[in-house]
Amino acid sequence: MIREKAKAKINLTLDVLFKRADGYHEVEMVMQTVDLSDQLLLEERDDNQIVLSCGVPYIPLDNRNLAYKAAALLRERYGIRKGIHITIDKQIPVAAGLAGGSSDGAAALRGLNRLWNLGLTLEELAELGAELGSDVPFCIYGGTAIARGRGEIIERLPAAPPLWVVLVKPPITVSTADVYGNLKVDEIDSHPDTLGMIQALASGNPERIVSGLGNVLEQVTFKMHPEVERLKSQIVKFGAMGALMSGSGPTVFGITDRESRAQRIYNALRGFSKEVYLTRFL
Ligand SMILES: C[C@](O)(CO)[C@H](O)COP(=O)(O)OP(=O)(O)OC[C@H]1O[C@@H](n2ccc(N)nc2=O)[C@H](O)[C@@H]1O
Ligand SMILES: Nc1ncnc2c1ncn2[C@@H]1O[C@H](COP(=O)(O)OP(=O)(O)OP(=O)(O)O)[C@@H](O)[C@H]1O
């Protein structure tokens, strides 16, 4: 029996460079793990089955679940004939832009690598993870990193300063495929400065980090759901140094360097939304 944490991510920057021939978008994004995680429990079974349990009712427990896919991929690739029961204690909001499913997939890969003594390196696990989804390789490593390609090429960065993050997930669902599908790459009004963000992180200066926040998918999701943009303004009004939408949304987050300020923003937002989380960079 093994336990493995699956941590959520936010995008500090998300830039799209062009649309590729394979339908994916070439991206450049600075990703940051935050202290909000699902917990996976991995238990061997005597039969040959992959069985999933999760307390959240609307999450698929079959081959659509990325943790299931991770187990199936390892079994197929390494000829493993062992059953596994994966219990997911879900804390990361679902379909939020926080890579919850991707992180469960990555945690299953890391945990099963240990349970089944496969001896795979993080690099090898990340390569397998890329077969499951674009965000999975980053979730294998976690921390602070830049992601390129369709998101699967990871360059790790030194740890960022421990800033506070207040996350709010509005009660709407956006499809990542639809958001990318509705993006007109030649109409992007302003691209984030990826290199500038890397330098800002290296400086450790919160003002510089916050002023570099940028996500080109915001313009698409804001057009589909104007309430997401309003929520972002509200976070700043309540005292965040800066705010941004994570991934394809709809979660927006605010950043501050002081815990007391973060707590105040959290309390204020709780009046507006049921899904508010107070967390920090990890
Ligand atoms: C928005 C982000 O979460 C930011 O971290 C990621 O870019 C998306 O990562 P993900 O959810 O793991 O995405 P995938 O499951 O690989 O792809 C879902 C769909 O999003 C679109 N997609 C995704 C990644 C990418 N670089 N270009 C794309 O156009 C594709 O239509 C794809 O079919
Ligand atoms: N382990 C899982 N946990 C949650 N959702 C999952 C999982 N596996 C597959 N899914 C499916 O993936 C969909 C997107 O959920 P998820 O929480 O991964 O979105 P997300 O945070 O937007 O991810 P990303 O940022 O990687 O796009 C869900 O609606 C669900 O049907």
User: What ipTM was reported for this prediction?
Assistant: 0.96
The reply to whether 188 and 54 lie within a common domain is no
The reply to whether 15 and 131 lie within a common domain is yes
Catalytic status, residue 9: yes
The reply to whether 174 and 61 lie within a common domain is no
Average pLDDT estimate for 153-166: 97
Which pLDDT score, from 0 to 100, does residue 55 have? 94
Which pLDDT score, from 0 to 100, does residue 210 have? 98
Which pLDDT score, from 0 to 100, does residue 271 have? 87
Of 157, 177, 204, the position where a domain reaches its end is 157
Above 90 in pLDDT, residue 136? yes
Q: Alpha-carbon distance 219 to 202, whole Å?
A: 28
The reply to whether 193 and 240 lie within a common domain is yes
250 is in an annotated binding site: no
Q: Alpha-carbon distance 190 to 207, whole Å?
A: 20
Q: At what angle do helices 122-129 and 66-77 cross, to 10 degrees?
A: 110
The reply to whether 125 and 217 lie within a common domain is no
Q: What is the mean pLDDT of the chain?
A: 97
Model pLDDT for residues 221-272, shown as the tens digit of each residue: 999 999 999 999 999 999 999 999 999 999 999 999 999 999 999 999 998 8
Catalytic status, residue 135: yes
The reply to whether 140 and 12 lie within a common domain is yes
The reply to whether 32 and 120 lie within a common domain is yes
Give the Å distance between the CA of 60 and the centre of ligand 2: 9
Model pLDDT for residues 265-279, shown as the tens digit of each residue: 999 999 889 999 999
> Considering every ligand atom, which ligand is closest to the CA of 250?
2
What is the total count of domains within the chain?
2
Which pLDDT score, from 0 to 100, does residue 272 have? 82
119 is in an annotated binding site: no
Identify whether the C-beta of residue 40 lies closer than 8 Å to the C-beta of residue 87. Answer: yes
> Which mutation among 94, 173, 252 tests ligand 2's pocket best, with the greatest number of atoms within 8 A of CB?
94
The reply to whether 258 and 139 lie within a common domain is no
The reply to whether 149 and 37 lie within a common domain is yes
Looking at the chain, the whole-number percentage of residues with pLDDT higher than 90 is 99
Give the Å distance between the CA of 134 and the centre of ligand 1: 6
SS (HEC) of 40-100: EEEEEECCCCEEEEECCCCCCCCCCCHHHHHHHHHHHHCCCCCEEEEEEECCCCCCCCCCH
Neighbours of 63 (CB within 10 A): 12
Which pLDDT score, from 0 to 100, does residue 280 have? 98
Model pLDDT for residues 33-69, shown as the tens digit of each residue: 999 999 999 999 999 999 999 999 999 999 999 999 9
Run of H or E including 151: none
Of 135, 157, 179, the position where a domain reaches its end is 157
Does residue 250 have a cis bond before it (omega within 30 degrees)? yes
Q: Would the pTM count as exceeding 0.95?
A: yes
For residue 268, give the DSSP letter.
H
CATH code, domain carrying 217: 3.30.70.890
Identify whether the C-beta of residue 201 lies closer than 8 Å to the C-beta of residue 250. Answer: no
Of 110, 130, 157, the position where a domain reaches its end is 157
Give the Å distance between the CA of 88 and the centre of ligand 2: 13
Which pLDDT score, from 0 to 100, does residue 241 have? 98
Q: Alpha-carbon distance 135 to 130, whole Å?
A: 8
The reply to whether 258 and 136 lie within a common domain is no
Which pLDDT score, from 0 to 100, does residue 152 have? 98
DSSP string, 202-264: HHT-HHHHHHT-EETTHHHHHHH-HHHHHHHHHHHHTT-SEEEE-TTSS-EEEEES-HHHHHH
**Residue 90 CB-density burial (10 A; 0-12 exposed, 13-18 middle, 19+ buried):** middle
Q: Alpha-carbon distance 131 to 59, whole Å?
A: 20
The reply to whether 209 and 189 lie within a common domain is yes
Shortest-distance atom of ligand 1 to CA 151? 26
> Which mutation among 13, 20, 64, 134 tests ligand 1's pocket best, with the greatest number of atoms within 8 A of CB?
134
Looking at the chain, the whole-number percentage of residues with pLDDT higher than 70 is 100
Which pLDDT score, from 0 to 100, does residue 6 have? 98
